[in-house]
Structure 1
Amino acid sequence: MSIRQTKRPIVLAAVILAMFMAAVEATIVATAMPGIVADLGGFSLFSWVFSSYLLMQVVMIPVYGKLSDLYGRKVIFTIGISIFLVGSILCGFSFSMEMLIISRFIQGLGAGAVQPIATTIVGDMYTKEERANIQGYLASVWGISAIMGPLLGALFIEYLHWSWIFWINVPFGVIAMLGVHFFLHESVEKKKQSIDYSGAFLLFLAITPLMLVLIQGAVWGSPLVVVLVFVSIASFALFICVERRAVTPIMTLSLWKNQQIRNANIASFSAGAILLAVSTFLPTYVQGVMNQPPIIAGLTLTAISIGWPISSTIAGKLMLKTGFRVTALIGGCALVVGGLFYLLLPVINHPVWAGVGSFVIGVGMGFSTTTFIVSIQSTVSWNVRGEATSMNMFMRLLGGAVGVAFLGGLLNRRLQMELADKQSDLSFEPTIDSVNRLLEGEQRSNLTRIELETLQVGLTNSLSIVFLTIFILALISFFFILRLPKEST
């Protein structure tokens, strides 16, 4: 890349705008989901709104990362955002939960290019010392979006329509594309390249059946589950074989031999599961169990993105003095403490407690993820930097996708059991979609006191399993952060 020709301040502003778009999308959608479910119905499909988006995003991240190394960051970034915006528009026009899920697939297809390539562009334009500080600035985007996201979501639901949470992406995406297209200048060798499409397809085939098993809460040992798990394992094995022989694999397996990259990626997997689990299920708990309005649910989630940029900025400066491992360990400790807050949430049933827990989780994400990205980018050359960066984000989002699917399945199974045991207390058929009545104002007001308590207790007990799993995932992240090499500075 020709740093001399690139207008770094303008490109950085465009990259920040793209990051802002992705960050606002996360906070608005998570906060608005109870309202969307109340409008479209289909609580049993709740997790698929997140998982469908994440599935395509996860599969496409390594593809976009490889393509950006082959053809340059600019063109792939533009293609990704274009597809993302098409998906966003379709999401806004969705008239059923099924259409929303399909539209989220399309949105995720483009989203795989936004954050990883934006981060890679920054890695290309700046030196290691500059990069540490710039990554902190990028993380501050999450703080701004965290404040604006829930507020915009609440305003759109209150005065406009939930569809605007998706349409708001359009102006941000267009401006970001123009900034990168006109002011980022690259020197990419023009030659015929082969793309590992078979590897991408096998990766998709390996992940999708597994997510179907997890999210639907299927009975283990049933013929359908056996077939799906077999397809997943067989596809993953074939994926490994294809990647070893491919001329330009979408995932260079030799990168996993690097101890820094390997442990950072595994820790990112579990951290991603924590982040998406909190974003997906906390607003439902705050609204359904605590009887709080959407704005309060949004603020409890906002705290994550306030703690994230603050700690990320500190991490950018601290890692240059203490090294990558010490900085990441601070993040690992914060994740464990934040997980403990959620574990105790059913006991200390207050939104402030939830908000503090979210803030501490945000601190953990800021210290750990910023350190992972900078350390990985500092250990590889330009021609694999896009792939290495994308691989780390791939693992984080894969963890989120698998985590949400698995926890959604746990939630559904436990909720079914809880409601089945209390069937005599309800005047309606106890199904998973019965929770819709807690999230929609008019239906909630029609519930008797006993019915309200029954649904809330069932939801509380079910989400307690989710919170316990979040704590376990935090311990796993801390374990692999401990395994980072001490000499990485």
Structure 2
Amino acid sequence: MANERDPLLPNRPKSVTVTDDRPQPSHVGPLDISKSTRYGILAGLWSATFLSALNMTLVATLLPSISSDFNKSNEASWLGTSYLLAACTFTPLYGRLCNVMGRRGANQLAVVVAATGTIACGFSKNMEMLIAARFLTGMGGGGIFTTSTIVTSDMYSIRSRGLAQGFSNLFNGLGMGLGGPIGGLVSDRFGWRWAFLMQMPLFFVSLILTSYNLRYVTPGKGKSAKEVLKRIDYGGSFTLLVAVGSFLVFLSMKYNEDLSWNEPVVIIPLALACVSFVLFVLVELLVAPEPVLAPFLLRQKIPVLCGISNFLVALCNFSVMYFFPMWFQTVALTSASTAGLHLLPNSTSMSIGSLFAGYMMHRTGRYKMINLIFGFFPFIGIMLITQMREDSGPLQMWLSIIPLGFGNAVVLQTMLIALLAHIPESAMAVGTGFGQVFRGIGQVGGVAISSALFQSKLDTELHRRIHTPDAEEVISKIRHSAKLVASLPPDLQRAARDSYAISLKAVFVLAACSTFLAYLVRLPIPEKALEHGARKKANDNDGAATREDIESRTATPAISEEALESGDSEDTTPPARPVLKAPARRLSTFESTDGTQDLESDTVGGSARQR
């Protein structure tokens, strides 16, 4: 028998019903969609999320093959940092594009950009072209993560969101963990280019699923695209891009290229990075109409602690993921495919950790205890990794990384929910974007800082061990091609393996310090019970909410279907209730339906700065 219920929009005629076996109305809200439609949306989002995460770590086991092919091993770190730099910079912009183009349009734009960059990677003719293609892929990859989070926030309450985000992180963890093994296997059998080209069918599947299913409407005051685009924080995004990019150039020139401090290509990027960072802060505090970094959250302890934790955890994660396979290729002298397979336990543990954290928060409504217990696991895992030797047993080599993946997955999951639980519902968008900025910078820093440390240490250790007449040439070749180690004469091979082992251990020690500091930073974050809120009354069969639930949850006045169709609604005063003060500016990201569905209101909703 059909299950009747009230619709999402208050002014919709009561005779209109939504059922799983009847055609849905043209204006269906995120809570009115059927189970099959919701699962279709999630399948499309999560398949793209898997590919974005895969691309983050895919190059970890491709670096020796790519750098040897182009003979530019010292530039190989840019293959990771260029992707992460683009994702860090462009991720917040997709939130505003969700309001300009709609959820489906913004998500599909991100997927198309990521797919285009991935194809370009497969057909790159030199290292410079490949780095540019990776940057383009990152522009789309960051948008995929943002739009996926937005749509999930539309369809679930904060307590249920933990479980939903756990499944999302399952695919994120699978992608990040399988990137290394898949990259190594494909590289050994078909060549590194096919590691990029093989992703195209799944990108196409994602587009088909979202095109067919992602059609719900989020009602609100419709503003023109021109008005909305004016409020995007172009100044903040540009200065952040220049600041982080210049700092990466400085690290590359000073440590990867081993240039002196007197060189202009070392001094100028460092100076530009400092100036751009100051400009970024000034733009965020004083100028930008939609600041990427919410000023009022910087004055609150919990968001700042969550942001610092995100930065340190991301730094730890990416330091290990990009250099762990290299240990097996250069120290243990395994193949690229075998080295990549050593990341498989990390993938499995991250997926299990995400689901575990989401399930526990959904079941108990709490997050602090599991964070305190399992948040120490990454430090244990890193210490086990630092103790690896060439003659270590298979258990240590294969299982040491498991506590790292499981613990960091739990931490990232619980910190997202802790951050959202300590800010007003109408500021969900601001908090989400705030955490993403810190995490994105940590990802870039994890690869760039650890790469600079590794190259500097490797150069020092090789000079200590190699004293042949052509030492400089030999050292340069070893640094430029990691695959060369396996073919060196025994005496030089021994020196190279020992040098790589010590240099990689320095990277792992950096990761250990990072994760331990992150644990200390999280200790003051208090517990707060998570509630289902108004959505608790929603029909469990398909998550739909009644009109009374929606009216009690939102601060948005009634909106007619005619106004929705035309993109306008009456500018009425919202009901009196505790909300943030009328904002002078708002964050250039999405407005969660947990707070209000009036996405572009000037007086209702989250604000990056209060009056």
Alignment TM-score, normalising by the size of structure 1: 0.91
Counterparts in 2 of 1:63-462, with a 5 A limit? 63-68=93-98, 72-142=102-172, 144-145=174-175, 149-184=179-214, 185-187=216-218, 189-191=221-223, 192-193=227-228, 194=230, 195-218=232-255, 222=262, 224=264, 225-244=266-285, 245-320=287-362, 321=364, 323-346=366-389, 349=392, 352-379=395-422, 384-425=427-468, 429-435=473-479, 438-439=482-483, 444-445=486-487, 447-462=488-503
Greater CA deviation, 221-230 or 325-334?
221-230
* Partner residue in 2 for 1:471: 512
Greater CA deviation, 138-147 or 278-287?
138-147
Counterparts of 1:468 and 1:371, CA distance in 2: 25
How many residues in Structure 1 have an aligned counterpart in Structure 2? 486
Aligned-partner residue type, residue 117 of structure 2: G
Q: Is the 8 A contact 1:437 1:444 kept in 2?
A: no
Unaligned runs of 5+ in 1: none
1:82-102, Cα deviation, whole Å (9 max, x unpaired): 111111011001122222112
Aligned-partner residue type, residue 449 of structure 1: P
* Partner residue in 2 for 1:36: 66
Q: Is the 8 A contact 2:61 2:339 kept in 1?
A: yes
> 1:226 offset after TM fit, Å?
4.4
- Partner SS state of residue 54, structure 1: helix
**CA separation of 1:436 and 1:214: change in aligned 2, threshold 3 A:** closer
Q: Is the 8 A contact 1:330 1:367 kept in 2?
A: no
Counterparts of 1:473 and 1:426, CA distance in 2: 40
Counterparts of 2:163 and 2:184, CA distance in 1: 33
Q: Is the 8 A contact 1:83 1:106 kept in 2?
A: yes
**CA separation of 1:128 and 1:56: change in aligned 2, threshold 3 A:** same
Counterparts of 1:399 and 1:200, CA distance in 2: 16
Counterparts of 1:270 and 1:260, CA distance in 2: 15
**CA separation of 1:379 and 1:182: change in aligned 2, threshold 3 A:** farther
- Partner SS state of residue 77, structure 2: helix
Q: Is the 8 A contact 2:91 2:143 kept in 1?
A: yes
Unaligned runs of 5+ in 2: 1-28, 531-611
Q: Is the 8 A contact 1:17 1:176 kept in 2?
A: yes
Aligned-partner residue type, residue 373 of structure 1: L
Aligned-partner residue type, residue 434 of structure 1: I
Q: Is the 8 A contact 2:294 2:434 kept in 1?
A: no
* Partner residue in 1 for 2:537: none
> 1:426 offset after TM fit, Å?
7.6
**CA separation of 1:322 and 1:53: change in aligned 2, threshold 3 A:** same
Larger Rg: 2
> 1:438 offset after TM fit, Å?
4.5
Counterparts of 2:481 and 2:62, CA distance in 1: 16
Q: Is the 8 A contact 1:426 1:451 kept in 2?
A: no
Aligned-partner residue type, residue 520 of structure 2: F
Greater CA deviation, 410-419 or 51-60?
410-419
**Are positions 1:24 and 2:46 aligned together?**
no
Counterparts of 2:469 and 2:146, CA distance in 1: 48
**CA separation of 1:325 and 1:68: change in aligned 2, threshold 3 A:** farther
**CA separation of 1:151 and 1:284: change in aligned 2, threshold 3 A:** closer
Aligned-partner residue type, residue 186 of structure 1: V
Counterparts of 1:265 and 1:231, CA distance in 2: 25
Q: Is the 8 A contact 2:293 2:433 kept in 1?
A: no
Q: Is the 8 A contact 2:345 2:401 kept in 1?
A: yes
Aligned-partner residue type, residue 423 of structure 1: I
Aligned-partner residue type, residue 217 of structure 1: K
1 or 2, which has the higher helix percentage?
1
Counterparts of 1:170 and 1:154, CA distance in 2: 18
Aligned-partner residue type, residue 263 of structure 1: L
* Partner residue in 1 for 2:521: 480
**CA separation of 1:49 and 1:437: change in aligned 2, threshold 3 A:** closer
Same amino acid, percent of matched pairs: 25
> 1:32 offset after TM fit, Å?
2.5
Counterparts of 2:64 and 2:312, CA distance in 1: 25
Aligned-partner residue type, residue 524 of structure 2: R
Q: Is the 8 A contact 1:128 1:374 kept in 2?
A: yes
Greater CA deviation, 77-86 or 240-249?
240-249
1:103-143, Cα deviation, whole Å (9 max, x unpaired): 11111122110123212311221122322222222232246
Greater CA deviation, 49-58 or 394-403?
394-403
Counterparts of 1:210 and 1:174, CA distance in 2: 36
> 1:319 offset after TM fit, Å?
2.7
RMSD over aligned CA atoms reads: 2.6
Counterparts of 2:299 and 2:99, CA distance in 1: 20
Q: Is the 8 A contact 1:68 1:386 kept in 2?
A: no
**CA separation of 1:20 and 1:285: change in aligned 2, threshold 3 A:** same
Q: Is the 8 A contact 1:117 1:386 kept in 2?
A: no
Q: Is the 8 A contact 1:123 1:377 kept in 2?
A: no
> 1:295 offset after TM fit, Å?
2.5
Q: Is the 8 A contact 1:3 1:125 kept in 2?
A: yes
* Partner residue in 2 for 1:3: 31
Aligned-partner residue type, residue 209 of structure 1: S
- Partner SS state of residue 515, structure 2: helix
Counterparts of 1:26 and 1:200, CA distance in 2: 21
Aligned-partner residue type, residue 120 of structure 2: L
1:255-306, Cα deviation, whole Å (9 max, x unpaired): 3334332211111111111111111111111111011222221121122111
Alignment TM-score, normalising by the size of structure 2: 0.74
* Partner residue in 1 for 2:609: none
Counterparts of 2:390 and 2:192, CA distance in 1: 32
Counterparts of 2:395 and 2:194, CA distance in 1: 28
> 1:148 offset after TM fit, Å?
5.4
**CA separation of 1:351 and 1:426: change in aligned 2, threshold 3 A:** farther
Counterparts of 1:8 and 1:346, CA distance in 2: 48
Aligned-partner residue type, residue 404 of structure 1: V
Q: Is the 8 A contact 1:300 1:352 kept in 2?
A: no
